[in-house]
Amino acid sequence: MNYMSFNMLERNPGCELDLGWLNNVRINLNATNQKAKQISSSVNLKNEFRAAWLLKAVTCIDLTTLGGDDTYGNVARLCHKACRPIADDLLEKLGFSYEENSPLRTAAICVYPSRVEDARKTLEKLGYYEKINIASVATGFPSGQMPLKTRLEEIRFAVEKGANEIDIVIDRSLVLTGKWELLYQEIQQMKEACGPNAHMKAILATGELGTLDNVYKASLIAMMAGSDFIKTSTGKESVNATLQFGIVMSRAIKEYHEKMGYKVGLKPAGGIRTSQDALTWLTLVKKMLGDDWLNPDLFRFGASGLLGDIECNLYEYVTGKKAKPYEFTMG
C-alpha cells in the first residue's frame, strides 16, 4: 500500500527491554502542573495565524466514531467528511479549494474492527483509499480485559479487513501491579500481529494508571516494544487527554528519541472538543517535541467532536458572525 502518510519516516523497531531505565523515573507533579498552565496561557493565536493552525489541526485528526450504534451509514458519512473536512464554500472564502492533490483531509478514520470494511469500501468508492488511513481500535477496546489470544486475533481481523493503523489498548492491570516484562511481551506480540505494514498506536489509558510515574514508565515500555505512536486514552475513561499526560508522554518520547534515535508519535484522545483545545495541544507538541512532530506522521488528535468546532471557528473568522449550532455538526 502506498499511503500518503509515513512515507518518509523511519519506523520505531523497538529495543530490548531495559528495566533499569524505568528505575530512574521520577515525575514532579507540581512542575508538570506548572508546565501545563504555562502552555495553556501561551496560546494566543489570532486571525490568519489562528486559521492556518486550525487547518493544520484538521490534517492531524483521526476522525473517530466508536459507538455501539455505529452502522455502515454513519461510517460512510464520516468518510465523506474525512475527504472534505471543511465545507466547500467556507474553504473558498479562506482562499482554498478541493482541487486535485489538495492536502486538506483528515489523517485517518478511526472505527471498531467490525466497521473497518465499511470505511475501506467507502474510501475506495471516493478514491481516497490510499490517501486516508484506516485506524481500527483493537485488543478488547476500551478495557483490554480479554484473553491475549482473542486480543491478538482482533488485530489480525482488522488488518485483514483493510486497517493500516491499529490502536491497541494495553492491559492496565500489568502497569498497576508492576508486571513490566509481561506488558512488554504483550505489546511486542501485538506489534507482530499488526504485520509489517500496519502501524501500531499504543493506548495507555493514562487516566487509569494511578500515577504520572506509571504513565512515563508505560510510555517507555510501549516504545521499547515497538509502538509507532503512544496514545493517551480511549475516550471512555473518566479522565482522558489532559495536558499533564501529554507533557509526561512527550518527555518520554523525547528521551526515547535521544537514546534510541527513533521518533515515536503522540496521539492525545478523549474529550478534545474545541479549537482552543486543538491549538493548545499543537503548542504543547511544538514546545515539548519541536516542529518535526507537527505533522500527521508524528502527531494525531483522536477526536469525534473536534472538527465541527474548528469549522465554526473558521466560519466566524471569515464572516465575523457566530455559526448557528446546527450548521457544522459532524465530527
Q: Which residues contact 220 (CB under 8 A, 6 or more apart)?
A: 21, 22, 25, 252, 255, 256
Return d(Cα 250, Cα 298) in angstroms, integer.
Answer: 11
Report the site for ligand G3H in 88-117 (rule: CB under 6 A): 110
**Site stretch for ligand G3H (CB under 6 A), options 113-121, 143-151, 264-272, 284-292:** 264-272
Report the site for ligand G3H in 150-189 (rule: CB under 6 A): none
Q: Which of 81, 267, 277, 309 is catalytic?
A: 267
How many CB atoms are located within 10 Å of the residue 100 CB?
4
CA angle 184, 185, 187 (to 5 degrees): 65
Shortest distance (Å) from residue 242 CB to ligand G3H = 13
Check if 89 is active-site. no
Return d(Cα 106, Cα 294) in angstroms, integer.
Answer: 14
Q: Does residue 139 interact with ligand G3H by CB under 6 A?
A: no
Say if residue 296 is exposed, middle or buried (CB neighbours under 10 Å; 0-12, 13-18, 19+): buried
Report residue 305 CA to chain centroid gap.
14
Q: Which three cell numbers stand for residue 165?
A: 493503523
End-to-end CA distance of the chain: give it in Å, rounded. 27
The residue whose Cβ lies closest to ligand G3H is 235
The site string for ligand G3H over 27-66 (x = CB under 6 A, - otherwise) reads -------------------------------------x-x
Q: Does residue 303 interact with ligand G3H by CB under 6 A?
A: yes
Q: Which of 35, 81, 201, 231 is catalytic?
A: 231
| Residue nearer to ligand G3H on the CB measure, 110 or 174 | 110
Check if 167 is active-site. yes
**Site stretch for ligand G3H (CB under 6 A), options 94-102, 215-223, 258-266, 301-309:** 301-309
Binding residues for ligand G3H, rule: CB under 6 A, are: 64, 66, 110, 234-235, 269-272, 302-305
